[in-house]
């Protein structure tokens, strides 16, 4: 048997690069005990950025490899660039924290890197086998990361909780996959898609149950209602930079997976899965809006905020149209920037050497650190979706798609729940600007944290003038998964 020509593997070049980098750093880390993380953190971030640059520079026409299980197209490219940049950002903001908390082990950036590899493969998955493998690679990395602060109860609890619930979700997913495989006889997305378009009624019953299980499994990874229970505990328990990591890139990857699965193989069954997505979207938006009102832990608040935000994104998917997917991609890109920026601000909340997470610690921040206060204000108004920040345009796009698909009532529920959600973002702005000053946070701001927070705030503001390239590339990406 002749080995596959190397050229065929080119579509997976960024993943190979990450794999190679990960393996080399593993050896380096073991050899250089002690200060490994200082070297490996920046190097991992850099290799992720290089991988993103390769994707940006390369041709974006669809190409398959690994016998059709792996597909590189404009859709995957769009998400991979965001994911790799997001993971790089999360690694950069984690460095100081890990050192401060004396858990600076080189495995942290490495696991993040392997997680990114898994996410890259997730958005490229073109069969259920590839889907499951890549999802597990990503999940296992995140389980370990969540439990990374192994001497504290909270972190261990977070890791364990995430692992047990995550395994359950993987089980559901696998069961769903087996049902679909059993009723269609294939795991390849293309073949399932054409089978379903042939409308063979005898297939549907079993495969439909399979679809429901698969959707449930992916919804767990997205952390949407009713599979959201793990998110607040994991966000709160995991070390803060790991929270930043979990909240940003994996959500994009899982959303990418959901989009591709629902649109590509199950595109013919829009009417079936639309009901599920509509329900999940409404439940997430409402729960996210109301549950966060009572939170005073900033990370928990961000968990509920994240649930609500994924709910808004699903409104776009519920439309089931190309415009809808387009909107989801734009929304998720903006969501990632907002989440990373906000977690960077949480990491800046450090007083006398120890990190604080209660939002009341932000009282009077504008008196002490006006720049950080302004950054946080921009982030909060963007999360609330108030123009002229980017958050508004994300919502604008998904709700436009929903109204276009005659889901006006869904858009009304979504926008009204965003008014409710606005309350807790305003509460943070209130603490920052209206309240009497508490003790100052430690200065100076760490360069990496300041840079990530600052860049994300600037991006969210500049978006009002320059959001068009994002729209344009998301449009091309969305077209790639419609046949």
What residues line the site for another protein (CB under 8 A)?
A: 366, 381, 386-388, 392, 396, 399-400, 403-404, 408, 411-412, 415-416, 418-419, 422-423, 426, 429-430, 433-434, 464, 467-468, 471-472, 475
Closest distance of CB 456 from another protein, Å? 18
Judged by beta carbon, residue 244 or residue 413, the one nearer another protein is: 413
Q: Crossing angle of helices 298-319/322-347, nearest 10°?
A: 170
For the record, the structure tokens of 466 come out as 């320059």
DSSP structural state of residue 71: E
Buried b (16+ CB within 10 A) or exposed e, 93-118: bbbbbbebbebbbbbbbbbbbbbbbb
Q: How far is the CB of 75 from another protein (least distance, A)?
A: 17
Whichever of 111 and 328 has its CB closer to another protein, that residue is: 328
How big is the chain by its Cα radius of gyration, in Å? 21
Min CB(467)–another protein separation in Å = 7
Closer of 138 and 418 to another protein (Cβ): 418
3-state secondary structure of 205: helix
Instruction: Please say which residue, 108 or 393, places its beta carbon nearer to another protein.
Output: 393
Minimum CB–partner distance for residue 464 and another protein (Å): 7
DSSP state of 293: G
C-beta separation of 94 from 54 below 8 A: no
Instruction: Tell me how far, at minimum, the Cβ of 397 lies from another protein, in Å.
Output: 9
Residue 349 or 398 having the CB closest to another protein = 398
d(CA 446, CA 449): 5
Vertex 93 angle, CA 294 and 85, to 5°: 100
Instruction: Select 92 or 477, whichever has its Cβ closest to another protein.
Output: 477
Phi and psi angles of residue 114, each rounded to the nearest 5 degrees, phi first: -65, -35
As measured in angstroms, the least distance from the Cβ of 403 to another protein is 5
Q: Under a CB-based contact definition with an 8 Å cutoff, are residues 328 and 255 in contact?
A: yes
Q: Smallest distance, Å, CB 372 to another protein?
A: 14
> d(Cα 475, Cα 382) in Å, to the nearest integer?
22
In terms of CB distance, is 63 or 386 closer to another protein?
386
Nearest to 365 by CA among 381, 348, 352, 379: 348
CA-to-CA separations, 172 to 218, 234, 253, 268, in angstroms, rounded: 9, 20, 19, 23
**How is residue 280 written in tokens?**
């999940």
Q: Closer to another protein at the Cβ: 183 or 392?
A: 392
Handedness of CA 349, 355, 359, 362 (dihedral sign): negative
Tell the smallest beta-carbon distance from residue 279 to another protein (Å): 21
CA 237 vs CA 87, 168, 208, 437: distances in Å? 19, 20, 36, 28
| Closer to another protein by Cβ: residue 326 or 361 | 326
Provide the β-strand partners of residue 72: 63
Nearer to another protein (CB atom), residue 211 or residue 413: 413
Task: Report the alpha-carbon distance of residue 7 to residue 369 in Å, rounded.
Answer: 53
Q: Do 87 and 245 contact (CB within 8 A), yes or no?
A: yes
CB of residue 422 to another protein, shortest distance in Å:
6
Indicate the residue among 104 and 413 with the shorter CB distance to another protein: 413
In terms of CB distance, is 345 or 411 closer to another protein? Answer: 411
Q: Number of C-alpha atoms within 13 angstroms, CB side, residue 70? A: 19
d(CA 189, CA 93) in angstroms, rounded, equals 37
Our CA dihedral for 446, 99, 460, 331, rounded to 10 degrees, sits at 180
Smallest distance from another protein to CB 407, Å: 11
CB 80 within 8 A of CB 117: no
- For helices 36-57 and 74-100, what crossing angle results, to 10°? 160
Least spacing, CB of residue 409 vs another protein, in Å? 10
Shortest CB 221 distance to another protein, Å: 30
Q: How far is the CB of 322 from another protein (least distance, A)?
A: 12
Question: Smaller CB distance to another protein: residue 185 or 387?
Answer: 387
Q: How many Å apart are CA 66 and CA 12, to the nearest integer?
A: 9
């Amino acid at each position: 048997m002749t080995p596959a020509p190397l050229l065929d593997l080119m579509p997976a070049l960024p993943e190979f690069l990450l794999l190679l980098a990960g393996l080399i750093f593993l050896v380096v880390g073991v050899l250089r005990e002690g200060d490994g993380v200082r070297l490996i953190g920046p190097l991992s971030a850099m290799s992720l950025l290089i991988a993103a640059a390769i994707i940006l520079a390369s041709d974006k026409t669809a190409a398959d490899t690994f016998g059709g299980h792996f597909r590189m197209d404009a859709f995957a490219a769009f998400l991979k660039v965001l994911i790799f940049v997001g993971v790089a950002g999360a690694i950069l903001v984690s460095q100081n924290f890990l050192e401060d908390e004396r858990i600076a082990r080189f495995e942290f950036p490495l696991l993040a890197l392997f997680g990114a590899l898994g996410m890259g493969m997730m958005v490229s998955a073109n069969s259920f086998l590839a889907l499951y493998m890549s999802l597990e690679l990503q999940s296992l990395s995140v389980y370990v990361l969540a439990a990374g602060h192994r001497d504290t109860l909270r972190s261990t609890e977070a890791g364990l909780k995430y692992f047990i619930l995550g395994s359950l979700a993987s089980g559901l997913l696998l069961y769903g996959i087996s049902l679909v495989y059993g009723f269609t006889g294939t795991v390849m997305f293309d073949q399932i898609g054409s089978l379903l378009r042939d409308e063979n009624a005898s297939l549907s019953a079993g495969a439909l149950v399979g679809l429901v299980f698969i959707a449930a499994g992916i919804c767990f990874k997205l952390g949407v209602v009713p599979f959201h229970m793990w998110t607040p505990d994991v966000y709160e328990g995991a070390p803060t930079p790991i929270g930043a990591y979990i909240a940003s890139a994996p959500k994009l990857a899982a959303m990418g997976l959901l989009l591709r699965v629902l649109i590509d193989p199950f595109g013919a069954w829009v009417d079936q899965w639309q009901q599920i997505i509509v329900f999940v979207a409404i439940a997430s938006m409402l729960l996210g809006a109301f549950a966060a009102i009572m939170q005073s832990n900033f990370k928990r608040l961000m968990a509920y905020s994240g649930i609500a935000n994924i709910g808004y994104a699903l409104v776009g998917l519920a439309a089931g149209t190309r415009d809808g997917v387009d909107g989801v991609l734009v929304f998720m890109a903006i969501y990632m920037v907002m989440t990373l920026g906000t977690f960077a601000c949480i990491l800046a909340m450090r007083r006398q050497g120890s990190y604080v997470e209660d939002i009341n610690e932000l009282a009077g921040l504008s008196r002490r650190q006006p720049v950080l206060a302004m950054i946080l204000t921009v982030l909060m108004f963007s999360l609330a979706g108030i123009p002229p920040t980017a958050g508004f345009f994300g919502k604008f796009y998904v709700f436009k798609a929903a109204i276009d698909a005659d889901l006006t009532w869904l858009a009304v529920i979504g926008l009204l729940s965003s008014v409710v959600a606005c309350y807790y973002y305003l509460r943070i702005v209130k603490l920052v600007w209206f309240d009497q000053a508490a003790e100052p946070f430690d200065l100076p701001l760490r360069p990496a944290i300041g840079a990530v927070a600052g860049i994300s705030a600037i991006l969210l503001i500049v978006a009002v003038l320059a959001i068009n390239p994002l729209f344009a590339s998301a449009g091309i990406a969305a077209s790639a998964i419609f046949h």
